[in-house]
Amino acid sequence: MSSTPTLHQQNPPARTVASTQSEMTEIILPNDTNTLGNLLGGRLMHFIDLTGAMAAYRHSRTHVVTAAMDHIDFIGPVHLGDLLTLKSSVNRAFSTSMEVGVKVWAENTRTATVLHVASAYLVFVAIDERGRRQKVPQLLPETPDELRRYEDALRRREHREAENTRRKAARLATSSQENEEGIKP
């Protein structure tokens, strides 16, 4: 077996946002809720991660891992017995990573009322079977909304990178101070 990357790894074909769209529906059961009968936030985050991964898989056509949950808004509660619908799509593809947006609605099964209850942005990285990063296809936004999300994703990435730089500098400063004071981690 050759260790030379295949043409697919070097120049994967571009894909549309529509080709990445994924949807998942869950009914909220007692095991998913807290003592007030509301969906647990961690369980919602799990559903968001799964739905986001589906879009990332569809775009990259390889294994993906969650690198970050960049932002999540819990807008309203989800109740026991509600139907939860999650929709995701890739907002932008970079070299080996993708930003995925996930939007979540809750449907009251008795009244048929549907409410937007959460939104999130996640970053996934494409990898091969050995955990090595893989190039991902370019993303082709086709609608004005897709183009807006595509451009916004770049701004969020720049913000993430600036925040990572700030955190590294803060850790180094704290570590240096602890070393000077003889404090062991």
The answer, yes or no, to whether residue 11 has pLDDT greater than 90, is no
Segments making up each domain of the chain, as ranges:
7-142
DSSP one-letter code for 14: P
CB atoms near residue 113 (< 10 Å): 10
pTM: 0.85
Residues 160/20/46/23 CA torsion (nearest 10 deg): 140
**Predicted pLDDT of residue 138:** 96
Name which of 84, 85, 19 is nearest 55 in CA terms.
19
pLDDT above 90 covers a percentage of the chain that reads 81
User: Tens of pLDDT along 29-85?
Assistant: 999 999 999 999 999 999 999 999 999 999 999 999 999 998 899 999 999 999 999
Instruction: Compute the distance between CA of residue 174 and CA of residue 126 in angstroms, rounded to an integer.
Output: 33
**Predicted pLDDT of residue 13:** 84
CB atoms near residue 70 (< 10 Å): 18
Do the beta carbons of residue 98 and residue 88 sit within 8 Å? no
- Tokens of residue 155, six digits: 């701004």
160: Cβ contacts below 8 Å, ≥ 6 apart: 68, 70, 123
| CA 83 to chain CA centroid, nearest Å | 21
For range 145-161, the mean pLDDT:
96
Do the beta carbons of residue 152 and residue 91 sit within 8 Å? yes
Fold of 7-142: Thiol Ester Dehydrase; Chain A (3.10.129)
